[in-house]
Amino acid sequence: MSRTRFGDARHQFAEVESTQTIARQLARSGAAEGTVVVAEHQRAGRGRAGRAWVDRPGESLLFSLVLRPVLAPPRVPQLALMGAVAIAEAVEQTTATAPRIKWPNDLLLDGRKFCGVLAEAASDGETVALVILGIGINVNQREFPSGLQDRATSLAVELGHAVDRSILLDTALSRLDHWYEVYRRFGFTAVQPEWSRRCALAGQPVVSGGVRGVVLGIDDDGALLVRGDAGETHRVVAGDVDAARH
C-alpha cells in the first residue's frame, strides 16, 4: 500500500495555542500519517524540555507533522535528528545557505539558532505508534526578544531579504517525506552520515551535564560522542550541550 505524501492533508490556522497540540488531537481522531498542521502564530509554542518558542505573527514557519512509526521509546529522539537533516536540506535548496546542526535539535546559521525540531511521542511504555514532529523556523524576523539577540537569527537576517514561506514549507515537507522513508526502511544508520557532515560542534570543547570534552560526532543510535580529557569516550543521550569555558 502506498504511503500518503506528507502535506497532502494540510490544516492551516491563523493562530493556535500550539501546532503540536492540534496535530496530536487530529492524530488521536484518526488523522493519517503525513498530516500537517501549519500556523501563522502560536500563543504557546514550545520547544524541547518545555521551553517556550516565541514568534511574531506571519514571520515564522511553524508546523507539526503526524508520524506513525512503530519503534521503541528510546529511538524517538532519532526522529528529531532525522527532521533536522531534512530541514537543513530544504533550507539549503531554497536559500543556498549552509545550515549546521547543533545536537540535539537546533539548526544554526553563522553560529546562531534559526530553527528547532521537536519530537513528542505517545507510548504504551514498550512501543511508540505516534510521534508529533514539530518544526519552528525563523524565516522573516528582524527583531528578537531581549536576551536572544546574540543567540538567534533568521533566514531574512542572514540573506538580507525576505524568504517565501510557502515555497520553504513545500520543500521542507518533500525532504521530510524523503528522509522519513529512508529512516523507516534503513534505520538511523542511513541518516547519520548526512547529520554528521552538518555537525556544528565537531571538534569543539563542550560541557553536557557532568561530561566535559571534545565532540567527536554522533553514533549510529544518535547519541553524542564526547572524548574526555583522559581520552575516554562518553555517550550523551539527552540534555543540553554548551561550549566549554577554559
DSSP, residue by residue, 77-104: HHHHHHHHHHHHHHHHHHH----EEETT
Note whether 91 and 192 are same-domain residues. yes
Is 74 inside a domain boundary?
A: yes
Is 71 inside a domain boundary?
A: yes
| pLDDT at residue 215 in the model | 95
Note whether 221 and 147 are same-domain residues. no
Note whether 47 and 121 are same-domain residues. yes
Q: Say how many C-beta atoms besides its own lie within 10 A of residue 193's C-beta.
A: 9
Is 63 inside a domain boundary?
A: yes
Q: Say how many C-beta atoms besides its own lie within 10 A of residue 177's C-beta.
A: 19
Note whether 131 and 222 are same-domain residues. no
Note whether 189 and 214 are same-domain residues. no
**Local confidence pLDDT in tens for the 246 residues of the chain:** 345 689 999 999 999 999 999 999 999 999 999 999 999 998 876 655 455 666 788 999 999 999 999 999 999 999 999 999 999 999 999 999 999 999 988 999 999 999 999 999 987 778 898 999 999 999 999 988 877 778 899 999 999 999 999 999 999 999 999 999 999 999 999 999 999 999 999 999 999 878 899 999 999 899 999 999 889 999 999 888 888 765
| pLDDT at residue 4 in the model | 67
Note whether 141 and 123 are same-domain residues. yes
Is 183 inside a domain boundary?
A: yes
Strands 211-218 and 100-102: unpaired
Range of the domain at 227: 205-243
Q: What is the CATH number of the domain that holds 180?
A: 3.30.930.10
Q: Which of 105, 96, 7 is nearest to 47 (CA)?
A: 105
Q: Which three cell numbers stand for residue 90?
A: 530544504
| pLDDT at residue 242 in the model | 85
pTM: 0.92
Q: What is the CATH number of the domain that holds 230?
A: 2.30.30.100
Is 1 inside a domain boundary?
A: no
| pLDDT at residue 188 in the model | 96
Residue type, 152: A
Q: Using CA atoms, how far apart are residues 79 and 96, in angstroms rounded to an integer? A: 25
Note whether 37 and 97 are same-domain residues. yes
Note whether 228 and 136 are same-domain residues. no
Helix, strand and coil percent figures for the chain, each rounded to 5: 30, 30, 40
* Residue in this structure with the C-alpha cell 510521534, named with its chain if needed: 131
Note whether 151 and 52 are same-domain residues. yes
Note whether 187 and 238 are same-domain residues. no
Q: How many domains would you assign to the chain?
A: 2
Note whether 221 and 183 are same-domain residues. no
Q: Using CA atoms, how far apart are residues 116 and 137, in angstroms rounded to an integer? A: 7
Note whether 232 and 187 are same-domain residues. no
Is 58 inside a domain boundary?
A: yes
